[in-house]
A = this chain, B = another copy of it.
């Protein structure tokens, strides 16, 4: 066993220790021992010892495997090849122990036995195997019902929040939408042919527990457009302290309906006279705050759908973006054909116009929202913008002049 005096210091402390866990396995798997050895070197030298990734894969697929080679293969022969396999996770990361054990058995056989549950995109990540083992490992997994996830310039494994499986606020079936879209885009997931990566995420409500707004090129977030349902007696129970604020999530014993809910409503559309809670729903912006605070008293309305937002990605190259509203409301139901079709139109436009390594959000910024909206057949809506433009530099097209000739006015709808 390699000596790891620095890493050993990470064995103590109350939070679960990955070092402790890896050491257990290192006793059985030489490559895990080597991994600890190389990691120790990195801790000492403060530098990575992985070479720039190479392209490896399984037959017919161009994605899902991250090639990885040590730059100290002589010292750590177990790491000469140490590729990652991204396995597409089930919607909502639900498992049975049987399923997990099946994966473990295969991975013990073909790989290092190290997993990430899960990768930041959501995949079940199998960390460390050799080029030779990729194909047999893949097929063993496939025969147990698993497939490889995305990487490279491809559709990436979509992910979703726990949604209707265990949350009262899911405004649509996030798990099924995620599953349906994953299946629909299998070809593009496995065969990179896009300008760059493309991520889909599905959150059941504006709490956005899967961080769709921050890290999905196409973010789907559940929303309602009618009135919040109020159980006035439950509101009173909160005010009286019988029900705990936020379902007990807080250090506070009692909710002050006025101070903690009404006064913090971002639109100021609520009022509470000590007896009746009123909401001016036309002015509610679905922030979820009041519902979060009083889950037993308030529920989202029943006219439900998704908002589609586009464009988020990490900072490379233009600076990070969050997704912005493209379609404020879309009714959806399995098999989610309207989401799939829209996604296809968007990807088609992006594939045609995007430069190499240009995320769709960057492309929309480069070519302008009008070009994008017209190409995918969506109307301009004020919900897309938090404010209209401040600069006077806007374009006109011949079709605008034609519409004017036919009577279109910009200062009134009449």
Contact = CB atoms under 8 A, between A and B. Distances in A.
Interface stretch (A176-184, A279-287, A386-394): A386-394
- Label chain A's interface by main secondary structure: loop
Contacts of A393: 315, 319
Contact of A390 (B320, B390, B391, B392): B320
Contacts of A392: 315
Nearest to A390: B320
A390 B314 CA distance: 11
Nearest to A314: B392
A320 B389 CA distance: 11
Interface string A309-323: 000000100011000
A102 B202 CA distance: 75
- Chain A, interface size: which category? under 10
A319 B389 CA distance: 10
Give the oligomeric copy count: 2
Interface in A377-414: 390-393
A390 B319 CA distance: 8
Contacts of A315: 391-393
Interface in A303-346: 315, 319-320
A393 B314 CA distance: 12
A241 to B, nearest CB: 26
Nearest to A317: B393
Nearest to A319: B391
A391 B322 CA distance: 12
Nearest to A318: B391
A55 to B, nearest CB: 27
A390 B315 CA distance: 9
A318 B315 CA distance: 23
A111 B320 CA distance: 59
A168 to B, nearest CB: 34
A98 B390 CA distance: 44
A141 to B, nearest CB: 36
A392 B315 CA distance: 8
A315 B394 CA distance: 12
Nearest to A391: B319
Contacts of A320: 390-391
A14 to B, nearest CB: 25
A98 B392 CA distance: 43
A319 B394 CA distance: 12
A12 to B, nearest CB: 24
Contacts of A319: 390-391, 393
Interface string A347-379: 000000000000000000000000000000000
Interface of A: 315, 319-320, 390-393
8 contacts: A315-B391, A315-B392, A315-B393, A319-B390, A319-B391, A319-B393, A320-B390, A320-B391
Given A315-B391, A315-B392, 6 more contacts: A315-B393, A319-B390, A319-B391, A319-B393, A320-B390, A320-B391
Which 6 A/B pairs are nearest by Cβ-Cβ distance?
A: A319-B391, A315-B391, A315-B392, A320-B391, A320-B390, A315-B393
